[in-house]
Amino acid sequence: MTKLGVMSSYKQQTDLWLERARLDGMVLGGVSYGVFFLLTVQTWIAVMQQPRYGGKNRRALLFYIFITFVLGTVSFAANAKYTEMIWIDLRDAPESPADLIEDQMSYPINVVAISTAHIQEWFMQALLLHRCFVIWNWSRRVMIPMITLYIAMISMSILVQIQASTGAVYYSINIILAYLCIEVGISVIYTILVANRLLAMRSLMKQVMAQHDSTTYDTVIVMVVESTLLYSIFAVIFIVAFALHLNGITTLCYLSICQIQGISQLFIILRIARGLEVTHDWSSRIAAAPTTTIFSGFISDTIEKSNDERVARTEQDVVQTYSTSVKAAEVDVCIV
């Protein structure tokens, strides 16, 4: 076989792999969207039925659930429509299906798909930042770097959308790599910050109450790590595939990554709204022997102080009396 024949055979195999990846990616995307849709409905109902969510807090959560679902649905529908166009509407086009996949950004419907997906991710990352800031009591040393990363992520996202709107080949938009790295970085940093904070809170509670049951903190930490791990692993595969120009794997990940991230976020909200393994079970175990304690100052301040400083502190500006069951509820409200 001549060199030209070998190259032609290799290109044909590559094209077939890319075409299979597009179809398989849409199947995977359909499954992940189905799970995302189911969790959206369940979370909406759970939040509506949860009495401890006040008016403003409930409206904010419902708006988040609604807007991310609408954006995710538009993105999925646009990708599904273009997949249909490749093999049906454009069957007589001079380009092969593989060429249509590579040049997908030449069609406005794909610009809509990527733009809505990115805006959906803006909202999901904003929720992560809010949780992190609440847990850290709006500490500037946490807020400033995290907001900086968030602004950088949005800037990269806008640049990606601008390049996509010019018809650039998706697999050649190198800014996507920077955007994905920043996005995953925010998720990983969020997990580390929240887990570290909750561990510190658990340690403080044990110092104050020797009989304190720390199950609530352990459960929330595991829950946060589990949800972030699902998205992070998927995103890292996406990043590696994109960097190595493995277009087939990149296509598989591209068609599902937003739904995977949405599932991770809804997973936390749903479990907290239902009180699974956090408030209900934990509160029932200590209901027979409620314990109260008085805190002088907010937890986020006392964690950073030494024992001597805590003893010397006389400020009573935020003195409150908590039962241990109420303290458990406070943790899950912060996480949501």
- H-type helices in the chain, by residue range? 3-49, 55-84, 97-102, 108-135, 140-165, 175-208, 215-243, 247-254, 257-274, 280-286, 299-303, 307-312, 324-335
The alpha carbon of residue 333 and the mean position of all alpha carbons in its chain are separated, in whole angstroms, by: 18
Give the pTM. Answer: 0.79
In tens digits, the chain (336 residues) has pLDDT values of: 454 444 455 456 668 899 999 999 999 999 999 999 999 999 999 988 876 656 678 888 999 999 999 999 999 999 999 999 999 999 888 888 999 999 999 999 999 999 999 999 999 999 999 989 999 999 999 999 999 999 999 999 999 999 999 989 999 998 999 999 999 999 999 999 999 998 888 888 877 776 666 677 788 888 888 888 889 999 999 999 999 999 999 999 999 999 999 999 998 888 888 774 344 444 444 333 333 332 333 334 434 444 444 434 433 333 333 444 444 444 444 555
Q: Residue 64 carries which DSSP code?
A: H
Enter the tokens of residue 247: 């277009």
CA distance 259 to 201: 32
